[in-house]
Amino acid sequence: MTVRKLDHVNILSLKYEETLAFYRDLFDMKVGPTPVNDVSRGAWIYDDGDLPILHVQKVDPVDPARKFADVRRRLGDGMGPRSVEALKGSGTVEHVALQCEGYDRLLARLRERGIEPRTNEVPGMRLRQLFIADPNDIVLELNFPGD
């Protein structure tokens, strides 16, 4: 298994529109839909090479449980406890994504060590994913495009 590069960082934001405007207006970054064009999944912010580096998801401060439930469906217990009060500073980072290759090899290696990752497939992107937590309980999204 090989990690090629940092893929993106996912941010849960109580200040969604402000966050998008901050990166767009201050750094001239492009804001666009997620590749599956699902508005509920937020927006991506692209670097000057048109690579998505930030994934921003809106958390409704009046009904945060809805977004937290959506995240839990994807990440399981790996997301840890979430609260509106914790969505400050680094607490807004939902996961760190790494672009990888060698899906089957890593899956076998994880299982040999007793780690059962959450799996996900995004057919519209030809992408397979594994979600695990590092020793600090930081969720890693391991992306295997076309692998």
Question: Are β-strands 43-46 and 52-58 bridged in parallel, bridged antiparallel, or unpaired?
Answer: antiparallel
pLDDT of 44 strictly over 80: yes
pTM over 0.85: no
Domain extent for 42? 2-145
Q: What CATH number does the domain containing 8 carry?
A: 3.10.180.10
Query: Model confidence over 13-25: pLDDT tens digits?
Result: 998 999 999 889 8
What is the pLDDT averaged over residues 75-92?
78
Better-scored residue on pLDDT, 142 or 41: 142
Alpha-carbon span 44 to 145, nearest angstrom: 17
Return the half-sphere exposure (C-beta side, CA atoms, 13 A cut-off) of residue 117.
25
The DSSP secondary structure of 59-126, one letter per residue, reads --SSSHHHHHHHHHHHHGGGG----GGG-SGGGGEEEEEEEEE-HHHHHHHHHHTT---EEEEEGGGT
Through-space distance between the first and last CA atoms of the chain, rounded to whole angstroms:
11
Which residue's structure tokens are 């670097």?
A: 47
What is the pLDDT averaged over residues 28-33?
90
Query: Model confidence over 84-129: pLDDT tens digits?
Result: 888 888 888 889 999 999 999 999 999 999 989 999 999 988 999 9
- pLDDT score, position 48: 85
The torsion region of residue 13 among left (phi > 0), alpha (psi -120 to 50) and beta comes to beta
Domain count, the chain: 1
